[in-house]
């Protein structure tokens, strides 16, 4: 498969690929379809009808929220997560506010990237690297079982895990040094990632392997700025994603904001039609939901206007635009994003069929959520 992918990369740069067709679909109005394509972060340990996030859910129909324990802009703890009882009540309030299925997401990878921490009363965790060190996927499956059961019991239905990046650069500040990768071996990563996904599925919790097309070789952090992996990345980094897709158990794929001119000389992966539509969807056969990494990270926000970011991401094949509100805090980001998409559709920059396509994928995935 490695040779096939390398050959495709070379061919696609020369020839490109035909655009994917999508027909319009029946269902709710445009406003609701657009809202379902937005996921945001917010501040608060509880939610009342007067809170901005409640209005975003109720009036703008946003499709998901992401929860954090630490608020980076203000450098304070207790943003959304304080204790198991508080978190369960928060999730219940969010569901009641939405009325229809709402993605309630968290980054609960284990180790350093853990929002539900032991000191707050949640089960202890190990990093993905430490879990895989002994070579037994059963250890990974055991922790994933505990994590999934905990999340499901709290009403959290989406975990942004597992990390499917390869540990090819141990000095990588955002993957290798944080022990977020299972291994540099793609088969090992596949086995352990599949164990995580399977455990979550048993408890009705969705997962999102990340960060496509592979963040493990980077020498920089896309939270902090532009990251070029052109001289470091290789097609082997696609293998865990391809393997998981072939297993048929991928709920979502989360993109990386890395730039790689081998794949696309113009755009970072999140905004790249060549990387997402051509490679991920056509070549690798993935037709599920694609969610962006946080679009407020500096690799994107410092280089592109909001309108450019949204237009490029949607045309590239992103279905859910994530604004975590935890690099910067923009209380009105959901309203601005919805208005921007509406305007782009109205002026023909984004075809209505493209919105329908994302809405169908999102609706299909939400049908699997426990009501």
- pTM of the complete model: 0.92
Residue 75 is assigned to a structural domain of this protein: no
User: Which of 61, 192, 211, 223 is flagged as catalytic?
Assistant: 223
* Span 290-312, average pLDDT: 98
Q: What is the pLDDT of residue 28?
A: 81
pLDDT of residue 278 exceeding 50: yes
Residue 13: per-residue pLDDT: 43
Tell me what pLDDT residue 2 has: 52
Identify the DSSP state of 63.
-
In the structure, what pLDDT confidence band is assigned to residue 17 with cuts at 50, 70 and 90?
very low
Choose the weakest-confidence range: 23-27, 223-227, 292-296.
23-27
pLDDT at res. 11? 42
Assigned domain for 108 exists: no
Clarify whether 293 is annotated catalytic.
Answer: yes
**Is residue 43 domain-resident?**
no
Q: How many domains does the chain have?
A: 1
In a domain, 180, yes or no: yes
Statement: residue 109 has pLDDT above 70:
yes
More confident residue, 25 or 153: 153
The mean pLDDT value of the chain amounts to 93
Residue 134 has a pLDDT of: 84
> Does the residue 202 lie in any domain?
yes
Q: What CATH number is attached to the domain comprising 353? A: 3.20.20.300
Mean pLDDT of 171-178: 96
| Type and span of the H or E element at 187 | helix 186-202
Domain that holds residue 176: 123-366
Determine, yes or no, domain membership for 72.
no
The pLDDT value given to residue 99: 84
Q: Of the candidates 175, 155, 32, which has an alpha carbon nearest to the alpha carbon of residue 109?
A: 175
Classify residue 323: in a domain, yes or no: yes
266 is catalytic: no
pLDDT at residue 21, as a whole number: 38
| Residues 188/182, Cβ–Cβ less than 8 Å | yes
- In order of 235, 258, 299, the CA distances from 91 in angstroms are 39, 32, 31
Residue 110 lies in a domain: no
Among 24-38, 94-108, 285-299, 319-333, the minimum mean pLDDT is found in 24-38
Distance of alpha carbon 215 from alpha carbon 313, whole angstroms: 18
pLDDT of residue 1: 53
In this prediction, residue 25 carries a pLDDT of: 44
Question: What is the distance of C-alpha 139 from the center of its chain?
Answer: 25
Beta bridge partners of 76: 71
pLDDT, average across residues 37-47: 98
Which residue among 69, 251, 264, 293 is the active-site one? 293
């Amino acid at each position: 498969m490695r040779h096939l992918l390398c050959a495709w990369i070379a061919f696609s740069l020369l020839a490109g690929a035909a655009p994917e067709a999508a027909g319009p679909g029946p269902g709710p109005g445009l406003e609701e379809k657009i809202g379902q394509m937005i996921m945001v972060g917010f501040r608060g340990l509880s939610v009342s009808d007067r809170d901005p996030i409640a209005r975003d859910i109720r009036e703008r129909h946003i499709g998901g929220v992401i929860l954090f324990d630490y608020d980076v802009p203000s450098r304070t703890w207790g943003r959304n997560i304080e204790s198991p009882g508080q978190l369960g009540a928060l999730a219940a309030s969010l569901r009641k506010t939405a009325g229809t299925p709402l993605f309630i997401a968290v980054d609960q990878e284990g180790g350093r990237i853990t929002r539900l921490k032991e000191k707050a009363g949640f089960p202890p965790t190990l990093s993905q690297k430490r879990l895989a060190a002994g070579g037994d996927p059963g250890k990974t499956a055991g922790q994933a079982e505990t994590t999934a059961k905990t999340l499901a019991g709290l009403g959290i239905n989406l975990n942004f895990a597992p990390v499917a990046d390869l540990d090819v650069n141990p000095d990588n500040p955002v993957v290798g040094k944080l022990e977020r990768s299972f291994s540099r071996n793609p088969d090992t990563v596949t086995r352990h990632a599949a164990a995580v996904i399977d455990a979550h599925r048993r408890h009705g919790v969705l997962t999102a392997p990340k960060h496509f097309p592979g963040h493990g070789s980077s020498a920089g952090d896309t939270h902090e700025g532009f990251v070029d992996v052109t001289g470091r990345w290789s097609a082997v980094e696609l293998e865990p994603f391809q393997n998981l897709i072939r297993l048929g158990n991928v709920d979502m794929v989360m993109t990386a904001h890395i730039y790689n001119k081998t794949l696309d000389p113009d755009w970072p992966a999140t905004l790249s039609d060549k990387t997402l539509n051509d490679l991920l969807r056509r070549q690798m056969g993935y037709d599920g939901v694609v969610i962006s990494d946080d679009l407020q990270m500096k690799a994107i926000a410092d280089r592109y206007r909001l309108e450019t970011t949204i237009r490029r991401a949607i045309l590239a094949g992103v279905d859910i635009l994530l604004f975590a509100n935890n690099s910067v805090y923009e209380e009105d980001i959901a309203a601005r994003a919805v208005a921007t998409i509406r305007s782009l559709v109205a002026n023909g920059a984004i075809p209505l069929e493209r919105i329908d396509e994302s809405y169908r994928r999102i609706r299909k995935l939400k049908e699997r959520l426990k009501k």
